[in-house]
Chain A
Amino acid sequence: MQIARTVSIAFFLAGAALSWGAWQLGLGSARVPEPGLYPMILGLSIMAISAILLFVGDETSSEESPASKPQGHRLETVVTLLALVLFILIVRFVGFAVSSVILLAILFWNGGIRGAYRIVFLSITIGVAAEIGCRLIGIPVPEPSLLSLLRDGL
């Protein structure tokens, strides 16, 4: 359970950082607590419990460790994440509909759908419908709108 150890170490460090930040805020006393008191309690508890997880381990790991596959679909997961990051990066410039179409196309392909026509058709239909639908029922979507893009050009 390598990843569980890494996560526990990370939480231990985060707990330490939280306690240090709480110290900076000032603790006050039990009678007159200042902003740092409560985060300090949390930070110390986080450190304590992640230390327990690190050194004592937890009771469930032995029961279920071999069943889970250590090797998952890493590539597909990473591509999915990158597509989402790309979406966030471009949505301000090309608007919701266009970036949705790009996001969907990448994800459809990544999920194993093949055939350019099918992917293009599905993503354009869903992406454009999403923007029009949202505007119709008043759900805010990132600007610029598809309409203004079509009018002014990219």
Chain B
Amino acid sequence: MDVLSNLGLGFEVALQPTTLLFAFIGVFIGTAVGVLPGLGAPGAIALLLPLTYGLDPVVAVVMVAGIYYGTMYGGSTTSILVNIPGESASVVTALDGYAMARKGRAGVALGMCAIASFIAGTIGIVLMTVLAPLLGRIALSFGPLEYTVLLGIGLLCASFLVSGSQWKALLMLLVGLALGSVGIDPITGDQRFTFGSVYLLDGVKFVVVVMGIFGITEVLSTIYEGTAERRLFQPSTRFSDLLPNRDEARRSALPIARGSLLGFFLGLLPGGGAVIASFASYAMEKRLSNRPDQFGKGAIEGVAAPEAANNSAASAAFVPLLTLGIPFNAVTALILAALMIQGIRPGPMLMSSNPEVFWGVIASMYIGNLMLLVLNLPLVGLFVQLLRVPYPVLFPVILLITMLGSYSIDNNLMDVICALAFGVFGFVLRLARFELAPLALGLVLGPMFEASFRQTLIVSRGDFAFVLSRPIALGIFAVATLWIVVSVVLRRRERGFSTPASE
């Protein structure tokens, strides 16, 4: 088996002591960040990116991926214990998780999160191992037209799937694309919108913008809105109290399996990702359950299914990144940035040009998952202590790290100024209830989208009939149309949830 021998190579890389160490550091930091308020996964990864510069490419990506998984898990911890989802992907977990905590079953809810995440992550990675090489082979036959269609649709889907106004999301997406057009024209090499500044020749730097809109904006908004009184449930951290009893385990088994599969396929699609996966699987379990009235009142299925779904969706999101070189969410975009800094360009060629990176990342995901289980169950008490750090101490430190992080990208004070400017920009937009994620996605995918769009125009001589002669592009069109219809339906359903969640 080709796949198995390649995976063997991956494990050889992933099991190196340094790789293991950095996977551990990543998962640990990620969980801590996920538990702490004020920073999400993209902000945390952007801030920690400087730490990876000196590392080997595989080790760097492994650590960043570890941070991603860690934040997902840490986000669920706060959902359960304080009813404040640390991540949007764990909003649903708060419904039944917090209800369980109020009934004194906080430990079991936390334990179930870890177990469901582990099983789902493993299922997701197995599917990925099989699917990624296949998709990579198909991607080799992609021309500029296919990329244009794929990127265009991905961008549209991403703005369709945000929770607020779709018009606002679309506007944010366009602003992101416009920011992405600053710098050197990808085809002709002309300068655009640089106003004679050397700094802008490189374009608007994605990592700097992320530090601004996901780091500074986040903290400013929390300071502005003031922080609500938190009621923290102190879970018993005895190991036996974290395990579900026989009945709970039996009831969670099928929801975990279904959640993992659903999550994986939703995670593959652009704009789908962990958030929609968790909502969709919660809705599915509620419908399938023979006691739907228990949902929202502490049903363990309501914790197990969405946690499984958001975890396998998180691993699925790596598939388009590694095989097509297209990140469809802010986190994978940052992983792309981390790889580019290392001089590695993900895409269809990655598997043959850097097999150790491709398979090393996949193998380390298995290990990261195992680590998360081993780390989180015994260390739950420690992470809970982090929740006690008062905001007035936490926020200044986060802001200081943002200043430092944006400087260290390029040793340039201009980046710090730029990050601060975007932080204020994001804060104003947040006040006006704009979603910022589409802006980040537009900025990172913009140059890629423009280049393939213009290549398509040149190749086709501006003739639209060219599209009809390319079956793959037509196929993507068909799938995307279906996906948009399905997602609009899912969205309607998701809105139904937002009322109980805000109680």
Chain A interfacial positions (CB closer than 8 Å to B)? 1, 3-4, 6-7, 11, 14, 18, 21, 25, 29-35, 37-39, 42-43, 45-46, 49-50, 52-53, 58-61, 64, 67, 69, 72-74, 76-77, 80-81, 84-85, 87-88, 91-92, 96, 100, 103-104, 107-108, 111-113, 122, 126-127, 130, 134, 137-142
CB distance from A104 to the nearest CB of B (A): 5
Chain B interfacial positions (CB closer than 8 Å to A)? 50-51, 54, 164-168, 170-171, 174-175, 177-178, 181, 185, 187-188, 190, 192-193, 216, 219-220, 223-226, 391-393, 395-397, 399-400, 403-404, 407-408, 411, 413, 416-417, 420, 424, 427-429, 431-434, 450, 453-454, 457-458, 461-462, 502
Check A74–B224 contact: CB distance below 8 A. yes
Most buried by B among A76, A137, A140: A140
Contacts of B190 in A (CB 8 A): 25, 35
Check A34–B223 contact: CB distance below 8 A. no
Check A30–B428 contact: CB distance below 8 A. no
Check A138–B420 contact: CB distance below 8 A. no
Contacts of A38 in B (CB 8 A): 181, 450, 453-454
Contacts of B502 in A (CB 8 A): 67
List the 6 shortest-distance A-B pairs measured between CB atoms, nearest first: A111-B392, A30-B462, A107-B396, A58-B165, A72-B224, A31-B462
Question: Bound complex: CA of A62 vs CA of B54, how far in Å?
Answer: 50
Contacts of B431 in A (CB 8 A): 3
Check B165–A25 contact: CB distance below 8 A. no
CB distance from A86 to the nearest CB of B (A): 11
Contacts of B50 in A (CB 8 A): 139-140
Question: Bound complex: CA of A100 vs CA of B168, how far in Å?
Answer: 37
Residue in B closest to A74 when the chains form the complex, CB atoms: B224
CB distance from A137 to the nearest CB of B (A): 7
Question: Bound complex: CA of A92 vs CA of B502, how far in Å?
Answer: 46
CB distance from A59 to the nearest CB of B (A): 6
Given contacts A38-B181, A77-B224, contact A130 B432 (CB under 8 A): no
Residue in A closest to B392 when the chains form the complex, CB atoms: A111
Pick the contact of A141 from B216, B407, B461, B462 — CB < 8 Å? Answer: B407
Contacts of B181 in A (CB 8 A): 38-39, 42
Check B174–A108 contact: CB distance below 8 A. no
Residue in A closest to B499 when the chains form the complex, CB atoms: A63
Contacts of B51 in A (CB 8 A): 137, 139
Check B165–A76 contact: CB distance below 8 A. no
Check B400–A64 contact: CB distance below 8 A. no
Given contacts A72-B226, A73-B223, contact A52 B413 (CB under 8 A): no
Given contacts A30-B457, A34-B188, contact A52 B404 (CB under 8 A): no
Consensus secondary structure, chain A interface:
helix
Check B413–A58 contact: CB distance below 8 A. no
Question: Bound complex: CA of A50 vs CA of B407, how far in Å?
Answer: 34
CB distance from B324 to the nearest CB of A (A): 21
Given contacts A7-B428, A81-B424, contact A134 B453 (CB under 8 A): no
Check B220–A107 contact: CB distance below 8 A. no
Given contacts A38-B450, A80-B223, contact A53 B192 (CB under 8 A): no
Pick the contact of B167 from A35, A53, A77, A104 — CB < 8 Å? Answer: A53
Check A126–B400 contact: CB distance below 8 A. yes
Check B192–A32 contact: CB distance below 8 A. no
Question: Bound complex: CA of A141 vs CA of B406, how far in Å?
Answer: 10
Given contacts A7-B432, A81-B424, A140-B408, contact A31 B457 (CB under 8 A): yes
Question: Bound complex: CA of A30 vs CA of B433, how far in Å?
Answer: 36
Check A140–B167 contact: CB distance below 8 A. no
Contacts of A69 in B (CB 8 A): 225
Check B413–A80 contact: CB distance below 8 A. no
Question: Bound complex: CA of A61 vs CA of B168, how far in Å?
Answer: 11
Question: Bound complex: CA of A91 vs CA of B190, how far in Å?
Answer: 35
Contacts of A139 in B (CB 8 A): 50-51, 404, 408
Residue in B closest to A37 when the chains form the complex, CB atoms: B454
Check A49–B171 contact: CB distance below 8 A. yes
Check A103–B403 contact: CB distance below 8 A. yes
Contacts of A134 in B (CB 8 A): 404, 408
Question: Bound complex: CA of A46 vs CA of B175, how far in Å?
Answer: 7
Question: Bound complex: CA of A76 vs CA of B227, how far in Å?
Answer: 13
Question: Bound complex: CA of A112 vs CA of B193, how far in Å?
Answer: 43
Given contacts A11-B175, A53-B171, A77-B224, contact A31 B461 (CB under 8 A): yes
Given contacts A1-B432, A34-B188, contact A45 B400 (CB under 8 A): no
